[in-house]
Amino acid sequence: MVYGAQGLNSMSQTFHKLFRKHLMKSEWSKKVRPILINNWEATYFDFTEEKIISLAAQAKELGIELFVLDDGWFGARNDDTSSLGDWDVNLSKLPNGLDALATKITDMGLMFGLWFEPEMVNEISKLYKMHPEWAVCVPDRKRTLGRNQMVLDYSNPEVVEYIYGKMSNILDCGKISYVKWDMNRYITEAYSSALPADRQKEFFHRYILGVYALYEKLTTRFPHILFESCASGGGRFDAGLLYYAPQGWTSDDTDAVERLKIQYGTSMVYPIASMGSHVSAVPNHQVLRTTSLKTRADTAYFGTFGYELDITSIPDEEKEEMKKQIAYFKKNRDVLQFGSFFRLQNDNDQRVAWMCVSEDQKRVVAAAYKVLAKPNPKLRKIRLKGLNPQWKYRCEETGQTFYGDELMNFGLICETEFTGYMTAPDYRGVHHAGTDIGDFTSQIYTLTAIEE
């Protein structure tokens, strides 16, 4: 429980500091997060070692720091119907093994990360065949599948110990720097075959204690691995997990417009550095919306930041744009991930603005987003917060200078929105005013104190 005397931003900043400085035990709680590329939306289950190596080589050229191999590297996993629980390398896809792949990627100068979904099991799996009683379901009742999978009974210590053995065997190679811990369904038919009838109501509590137990074992044995938990799918959003996993995958919904709402709401309690955020493919794979690469990056900056698309097949001009985005984020990620975060505007989810300011108040990254364009819009400005009122700040993007009190009281005038056409006699449209044209646009403003 926290108290903030100056509104919701004050409350959120207290939560952010509490979680970052006193809850996260990982060494990563004090480190900026590496920029990653995840192969999921680039390949889904259909990949080879050659394809993964080509993605990693391109990622290195762009300046990305971490390559993450997602679902499909284990068992006989070619779709979502089988093999969860069978945490052994799929040699038909990776004939030289996982260690060899990890070595090739780390030899490029990248870190290597790996996807697990350790709390789940498929009916079509060696694990389920050996231990059907380990799946959460009520005996002699119909079972509900989600994404063709069931939940393993983590209230049973035997299950936790088995999964720990399988995961630690994989992580023992010493080449894995990051684990994406997924959870793609929620719990139904909550029942444990390991608990007697009069203790079944303890199931959910004991289940989470089992999850904590596995995290405890893994983070103790592998203290340098960055673990990312999962808020998506399972609907689990537990701040306690930040103790073990200092960041969480905020949602499988990666559309930039959707993410404005998701990240805005998440920031009420969770620090920016804990919010997994990626630039994904377009048309977006969840809503089929097409947004610019700029808007996708401007949104994803306010989180851990990474990419999730086939970077080997995009145009050269987009690769050059990505290089600039990555360079910008590297320069400013300490402010973005560990500065004070302020929500500045949310106009019915159509005009959104937020910002981060460094603890010494000398550096600022602010963002303004527009969802749908409107005719003849009024002048837009955003009033910044948390600055020193007597210092002068220079805006990197415009070259203009302002005093802190000016930016906080009058505000920063944003890029002018397009205000319509002037109709000529021959009915040809002539642009009237405004450079912020169309739907789904964004602007980033970077300010630095130049006089104290």
Task: Determine contact, residues 113/65, Cβ cutoff 8 Å.
Answer: no
First-to-last alpha carbon distance for the chain, in angstroms, is 36
Closest CA to 28 of 183, 305, 244, 266: 244
Residues 6 or more apart in contact with residue 442 via CB below 8 angstroms: 294, 295, 298, 299, 367, 368, 369, 370
Banded pLDDT at 426 (limits 50, 70, 90):
low
| Residue 1 belongs to some domain of the structure | no
Residue for token pair 């070595």: 103
Burial class (CB in 10 A: 0-12, 13-18, 19+), 147: middle
- Whether 211 shows a pLDDT value over 70: the answer reads yes
What percent of the chain lies above the pLDDT cut of 90? 88
* pLDDT of the residue at 434: 79
* Least-confidence region, from 109-118, 398-407, 429-438, 442-451: 429-438
Q: Are residues 272 and 152 in the same domain?
A: yes
Q: Are residues 163 and 290 in the same domain?
A: yes
**Averaged over 111-136, what is the pLDDT?**
98
Domain that holds residue 125: 8-338
pLDDT single digits (tens) 313-351: 999 999 999 999 999 999 999 999 999 999 999 999 999
- Whether 68 shows a pLDDT value over 70: the answer reads yes
* pLDDT of the residue at 274: 95
Task: Determine contact, residues 363/449, Cβ cutoff 8 Å.
Answer: yes
Banded pLDDT at 124 (limits 50, 70, 90):
very high
Which structure tokens are listed for 365? 């990254």
Q: What residues are paired with 178 via a beta bridge? A: 113, 226
Give the start-end residues of each E strand in 191-339: 226-230, 247-249, 275-276, 278-280, 306-308
Task: Supply the pTM of this predicted model.
Answer: 0.95
| Residue 3 belongs to some domain of the structure | no
Identity of residue 154: Y
Closest CA to 13 of 347, 448, 386: 386
Which of 293, 310, 338 is the last residue in one of the domains?
338
Cis peptide before 271 (omega within 30 of 0): no
Which structure tokens are listed for 316? 């050269």
Residues 6 or more apart in contact with residue 288 via CB below 8 angstroms: none
Q: What residues are paired with 363 via a beta bridge? A: 448
3-state secondary structure of 196: coil
* pLDDT of the residue at 424: 54
Helix-then-strand count for the chain, H and E: 11, 21
* Least-confidence region, from 17-31, 233-247, 361-375: 233-247
Q: Are residues 313 and 364 in the same domain?
A: no
71 is catalytic: no
pLDDT single digits (tens) 173-206: 999 999 999 999 889 999 999 999 999 999 999 9
Q: How many domains does the chain have?
A: 2
- Whether 431 shows a pLDDT value over 70: the answer reads no
**Averaged over 205-226, what is the pLDDT?**
96
Q: Which of 80, 88, 99, 252 is catalytic?
A: 252
The number of CA neighbours under 13 Å toward the Cβ of 329 is: 32
348: CATH: 2.60.40.1180
| Residue 2 belongs to some domain of the structure | no
Banded pLDDT at 452 (limits 50, 70, 90):
confident
- Whether 428 shows a pLDDT value over 60: the answer reads no
SS3 content of the chain, % helix, strand, coil (to 5): 35, 20, 45
**Averaged over 297-307, what is the pLDDT?**
98
Which of 286, 318, 338 is the last residue in one of the domains?
338
Which structure tokens are listed for 8? 């919701």
Q: Are residues 363 and 221 in the same domain?
A: no
* pLDDT of the residue at 89: 97
Q: For 222-315, where are the alpha helices, taking DSSP H only?
A: 256-266, 293-300
d(CA 249, CA 231): 6
Closest CA to 238 of 123, 254, 230: 230
* pLDDT of the residue at 393: 98
Q: Are residues 382 and 321 in the same domain?
A: no
Q: Are residues 18 and 128 in the same domain?
A: yes
Q: Are residues 398 and 299 in the same domain?
A: no
Banded pLDDT at 234 (limits 50, 70, 90):
low
* pLDDT of the residue at 133: 96
**Averaged over 67-71, what is the pLDDT?**
98
252 is catalytic: yes
| Residue 359 belongs to some domain of the structure | yes
**Averaged over 428-451, what is the pLDDT?**
85
Closest CA to 215 of 260, 183, 253: 183
Q: Which of 70, 71, 182, 255 is catalytic?
A: 182
Which of 293, 323, 338 is the last residue in one of the domains?
338
d(CA 172, CA 221): 9
Q: Return the CA Rg of the chain.
A: 24
Q: Are residues 100 and 242 in the same domain?
A: yes
Closest CA to 41 of 239, 316, 255, 266: 255
Q: Are residues 119 and 206 in the same domain?
A: yes
* pLDDT of the residue at 269: 95
* pLDDT of the residue at 422: 56
101: CATH: 3.20.20.70
Which structure tokens are listed for 106? 């780390």
Residues 6 or more apart in contact with residue 365 via CB below 8 angstroms: 301, 332, 335, 336, 339, 355, 356, 444, 445, 446
* pLDDT of the residue at 427: 47
- Whether 233 shows a pLDDT value over 70: the answer reads no
d(CA 375, CA 421): 10
- Whether 451 shows a pLDDT value over 90: the answer reads no
Closest CA to 69 of 92, 48, 91, 96: 48
Task: Pick left, alpha or beta for residue 423 (phi over 0 → left; psi -120 to 50 → alpha; otherwise beta).
Answer: beta
Q: Are residues 148 and 161 in the same domain?
A: yes
d(CA 366, CA 355): 4
| Residue 150 belongs to some domain of the structure | yes
| Residue 18 belongs to some domain of the structure | yes
* pLDDT of the residue at 3: 86
Q: Are residues 272 and 315 in the same domain?
A: yes
3-state secondary structure of 166: helix
Identity of residue 369: Y
Q: Are residues 347 and 334 in the same domain?
A: no
